[in-house]
Amino acid sequence: MKRYWVLVGLGLSIGILAAQEGSRLTVLSEPPHGAVQIDSNWIGYTPVHRLELLPGAYRIRVFAPSGGIWNLRDREFRIVLRPGQDTTLTVRFSPLIFVNSIPGGAFLRKDTTTIGLTPLYLSFYAYQGKQLVLEKPGYQPYRLVLQQAGPVTVRLKPKEGFVEQKRPPLLRLWPRTHRRAKFSLLGATVLTHWLAFYFKNVADDRYNRYLHTADPDLIDRYWRETQKYDRLTDITLALSYTSLAVFIYLVIWR
C-alpha cells in the first residue's frame, strides 16, 4: 500500500514539474528572412532558434521575404506545444516565374489543362521539372521544362506558309512605331502652328485693307478674305493643339 502511494506521489511530482517546464519553438523558412508573428506578437525574422514559450496552442504566421515575388504573401499555422518539447516549423515559399512568348498571347498548357495566356507568372515549385507546352494558332508548339527559378522568354516559330496579319498604319499615314509617331506629331505640330501664324497675318492684312479702302467692290472682297483666313487660322490652330496633345501623351505615357 505504501508503495502505491509512493508511486502516485512520484507521478504527481513528475506531472507538476513537466507542467512547469517550457517548450521551445524553432521557425525556419526558405528563403530566410521571413517575418514571424505568434498570435498578435511580432517575434522577428527567420531563422528563429529555440524560442522559449509556455505550453499551449498558438497561431503562427510567417510572411514571405520582401526582396522578391512570391506566390503566397504569408503562411499561417496552428500548433500545440507540449511541455518540454522541441518543435521545428519549416516554411517553404515558392518564387513566381515570369513566362513570356514572342509574340505574346500564347496558351501555356500542362497536359490538357490550360494554365493561362502569356505573359504570366507561375509558381516555380508547383511546376518545377514538369513539361509545359506553349501553343498559339499559326505557330509551332514549344515544349519547355522549368529547371531554374528565372524568367523564361520563348520566341515562337511560325508554321510553314503562315503569314501574320499586321495592323496597317492609321489611314496609311500613321507610323506603327512610337518613335516615328513622335517625330511625325512634332513635325505636324510645328507645321500647323506656322500655318496658323501665316493665315492670321494674312487675315490681319486683309482686314487692314478693308478698313482703309473706299472702293465698294474691294471692301466686299477684303471682308470675305478676312473671314476665310480667320477660319483657316482657327482650323490649323486646332490641328496644332491636337497633335501637340497626342505628342505629349506618347512622351509621358508611352
Of the candidates 54, 71, 92, which is a domain's last residue?
92
More confident residue, 95 or 38: 38
Q: What is the pairing mode between strands 56-63 and 35-38?
A: antiparallel
Pick the closest to residue 141 from 158, 127, 124 (CA basis): 158
Domain range enclosing 32: 24-92
Residues 83 and 102 in one domain: no
Task: Give the pLDDT confidence score for residue 68 in this predicted structure.
Answer: 57
Is residue 244 included in any domain, yes or no?
Answer: yes
Is residue 13 included in any domain, yes or no?
Answer: no
Task: Give the pLDDT confidence score for residue 78 in this predicted structure.
Answer: 92
**Is the model's pLDDT at 30 over the cut of 60?**
yes
Mean pLDDT to the nearest integer, 8-21 = 51
More confident residue, 65 or 14: 65
Of the candidates 75, 92, 109, which is a domain's last residue?
92
- How far is residue 137's CA from residue 112's CA, in Å, rounded to a whole number? 16
In this structure, which amino acid lies at residue 71? N
Task: Give the pLDDT confidence score for residue 109 in this predicted structure.
Answer: 92
Task: Give the pLDDT confidence score for residue 200 in this predicted structure.
Answer: 87
More confident residue, 252 or 58: 58
How far apart, in Å, are the Cα atoms of 210 and each of 220, 234, 250?
8, 20, 44
Confidence band of 26 (pLDDT split at 50, 70, 90): very high
| CATH code assigned at 62 | 2.60.40
Q: Which three cell numbers stand for residue 125?
A: 515549385
- The DSSP call for residue 21 is S
Residues 37 and 107 in one domain: no
- By three-state DSSP, how is residue 219 classified? helix
**Is the model's pLDDT at 171 over the cut of 50?**
no
Length of the chain, in residues? 254
Mean pLDDT to the nearest integer, 86-106 = 86
- Residue whose C-alpha cell is 504570366: 120
Residues 87 and 101 in one domain: no
More confident residue, 176 or 62: 62
Mean pLDDT to the nearest integer, 70-74 = 59
Number of domains the chain contains:
3
Confidence band of 8 (pLDDT split at 50, 70, 90): very low
How far apart, in Å, are the Cα atoms of 54 and each of 11, 16, 28?
21, 14, 20
Is residue 16 included in any domain, yes or no?
Answer: no
